[in-house]
């Protein structure tokens, strides 16, 4: 879809901090994270809602989600990883992975913006953990 920001990101038309890519999926840091390391997993194919995806896409995205969650737990030294499937703010099926800490209440903290160069350091830690 030509106006979809996630399609533009997966095609390299919009810059991002890429964490992982294969032939079917693209993983990148959320530009307005809840916590450092908050990332998105999107299918490269433009699918608006999860229920519109075929079973193979659903299976494969969740297998990848587990792999990324394990890397995130290691890289971000978090207590657990929260997963959320949404699609309201961007009409492209995507999964949010958010590192969570037992001592921090959620979702009361506002989303943040990375400072210059900060997202690259977080991305590097996540990539190395894969």
Instruction: Tell me the β-bridge partners of 29.
Output: 39
Neighbour count for residue 127 (Cβ, 10 Å)? 15
The two three-digit tokens of residue 101, written as one number: 């800490």
Residues with a catalytic annotation lie at 94
Measure Cα distances from 120 to 9, 17, 30, 67, 114 in Å: 16, 6, 12, 20, 9
């Amino acid at each position: 879809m030509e106006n979809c920001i996630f399609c533009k990101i997966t095609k390299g038309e919009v810059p991002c901090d890429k964490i992982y890519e294969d032939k079917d999926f693209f993983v990148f840091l959320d530009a307005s994270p809840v916590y450092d390391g908050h990332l998105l997993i999107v299918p490269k194919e433009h699918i608006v809602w999860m229920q519109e995806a075929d079973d193979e896409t659903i299976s494969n995205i969740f297998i990848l989600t587990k792999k990324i969650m394990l890397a995130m737990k290691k890289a971000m030294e978090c207590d657990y990883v929260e997963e959320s499937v949404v699609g309201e703010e961007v009409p492209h099926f995507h999964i949010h992975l958010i590192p969570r800490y037992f001592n921090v209440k959620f979702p009361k903290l506002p989303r943040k913006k990375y400072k210059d160069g900060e997202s690259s350091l977080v991305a590097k830690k996540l990539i190395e953990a894969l």
